[in-house]
Amino acid sequence: MATTSDIKNGLTIEYNGKPYQIVYFQHVKPGKGAAFVRTKLKSLENGRVIENTFNAGVKIDVIRIERRPYQFLYKDDLGYNFMHMETFEQVSIQEELIEGVEFLKEGQDVEIIFHAEQEAPLNCELPPFIIAEVTYTEPGLKGDTTTNTLKPATIETGSTIMVPLFIDIGEKIKVDTRTKEYVERAK
């Protein structure tokens, strides 16, 4: 058992029976009263961030998690199927555990976070940036570059994002999977 003095960013704890990761913490010692720790906790099940205050010295349950490299194979009626990059073991994960599922394409490398004691997948993280080909977008008007205007474009994964007017069909672009935004043309 750990206490609030062991809290640090990135630590995974069990809070109300569910796994949470500490995103932010601040130890506060007011002039009057007892000290406490103010935290922001991110749920590993649904990605929601909640705020919580722990009294100083309270015992917390630390969960051991492991990040493992996997490759996306295919999607079927059981879920999304991934293969471990070293052991070739396959695992099926439900859609709600995958962050940025609309950017997932076959053969893509991801990291799956597992609860180490229960061997249960908690979350699947895509790389921060992916390279995708634009499959459909309206043609941009030539010379219309005075403003920072954006237009919708569909990429090869089926997702629609906003891109600058100069992007055409067939071009490869870099997309941020966390913010779901266009970054730059791919080189």
Please say which residue of 105, 125, 145 terminates a domain: 125
State the pLDDT confidence band at 78, using cuts at 50, 70 and 90: confident
What is residue 141's predicted lDDT score, i.e. its pLDDT? Answer: 67
Mean pLDDT of the chain: 88
Same domain, 133 and 156: yes
What is residue 3's predicted lDDT score, i.e. its pLDDT? Answer: 86
Helix, strand or coil for residue 147? coil
pLDDT exceeds 80 at position 96 = yes
pLDDT exceeds 90 at position 41 = yes
pLDDT tens sequence across 47-58 = 789 999 999 889
CATH code for position 54? 2.30.30.30
Q: Calculate mean pLDDT across residues 119-148.
A: 82
**Beta partners for 14?**
19, 61
pTM above 0.85, yes or no: no
What is residue 144's predicted lDDT score, i.e. its pLDDT? Answer: 59
CATH code for position 94? 2.40.50.140
Helix, strand or coil for residue 81? strand
Same domain, 69 and 118: yes
Task: List the beta strands (DSSP E) in 101-146.
Answer: 109-115, 120-125, 129-137
Same domain, 120 and 69: yes
pLDDT tens sequence across 57-77 = 899 999 888 889 999 999 988
What is residue 134's predicted lDDT score, i.e. its pLDDT? Answer: 92
Distances (CA, A) of 148 to 1, 84, 161, 162, 163: 53, 42, 15, 12, 10
Same domain, 58 and 70: no
pLDDT exceeds 90 at position 38 = yes
Give the count of domains, the chain: 3
Same domain, 91 and 103: yes
Same domain, 138 and 91: no
What is residue 118's predicted lDDT score, i.e. its pLDDT? Answer: 85
Please say which residue of 106, 125, 144 terminates a domain: 125
Same domain, 115 and 151: no
Same domain, 117 and 154: no
Same domain, 75 and 120: yes
Q: Calculate mean pLDDT across residues 81-103.
A: 89
Please say which residue of 84, 100, 125 terminates a domain: 125
State the pLDDT confidence band at 143, using cuts at 50, 70 and 90: low
Same domain, 71 and 94: yes
pLDDT exceeds 80 at position 113 = yes
Cα torsion through 144, 147, 151, 153, rounded to 10: 90
Same domain, 13 and 46: yes
- Type of residue found at 159: S
Q: Which domain holds residue 28?
A: 2-62
